[in-house]
Amino acid sequence: MENKNQEYRMQMPLLGDSFPRMEVQTTQGPVSLPGAYAGKWFLLFSHPADFTPVCTTEFVAFQKRYGKFKDLNTELIGLSVDQVFSHIKWIDWIKDNLNVDIKFPIITGTEAIAAKLGLIHPGKGTNMVRAVFIVDPKGIVRAIMYYPQELGRNMDEFLRMIKGFQIADRDGVAIPANWPDNELIGDDVIVPPPNNVDAAKKIVTQYDCYDWWFCHKKQ
Instruction: Return d(Cα 187, Cα 201) in angstroms, integer.
Output: 25
141 touches 15 (CB < 8 A)? yes
First to last CA, the chain: 49
Whether 111 is in a domain gets the answer yes
For the whole model, what pTM was predicted?
0.91
Full domain range(s) for residue 40: 2-152
Q: List, for residues 23-63, the tens digit of each pLDDT value.
A: 999 999 999 999 999 999 999 999 989 999 999 999 999 99
CATH of the domain at 200: 3.30.1020.10
Q: List residues bridging with 76 in a β-sheet.
A: 43
Considering only residues 19 and 117, tell me which one the structure prediction assigns the higher pLDDT.
19
Q: Which of 12, 43, 55, 106 is catalytic?
A: 55
pLDDT at site 53: 96
Q: What is the pLDDT of residue 63?
A: 98
Q: Is 157 within the bounds of a domain?
A: no
**Residue 76 resides in a domain:** yes
- Find residue 74's DSSP bridge partners: 41
* Three-state DSSP state, 171: helix
pLDDT of residue 110: 77
What is the CA 38 to chain-centroid distance, rounded?
A: 16
192 within a domain of the structure (yes/no): yes
Specify if 194 maps to a domain. Answer: yes
- CATH number at 98 reads 3.40.30.10
Note if 55 is an active site residue.
yes
Higher local confidence (pLDDT), 128 or 103? 103
Question: What pLDDT does 23 receive?
Answer: 93
Q: Which of 102, 122, 152 is the last residue of a domain?
A: 152
The reply to whether 193 falls in a domain is yes
Phi, psi angles (nearest 5°) of residue 146: -125, 140
The reply to whether omega before 34 is within 30° of 0 (cis) is yes
Residue 31 CA to chain centroid, in angstroms? 18
What is the percent of the chain where pLDDT is above 70?
92
pLDDT in tens, 60-106: 999 999 999 999 999 999 998 889 999 999 999 999 999 999 999 99
Within 10 angstroms of residue 203's Cβ, the number of other Cβ atoms is 18
Average pLDDT over residues 1-10: 47
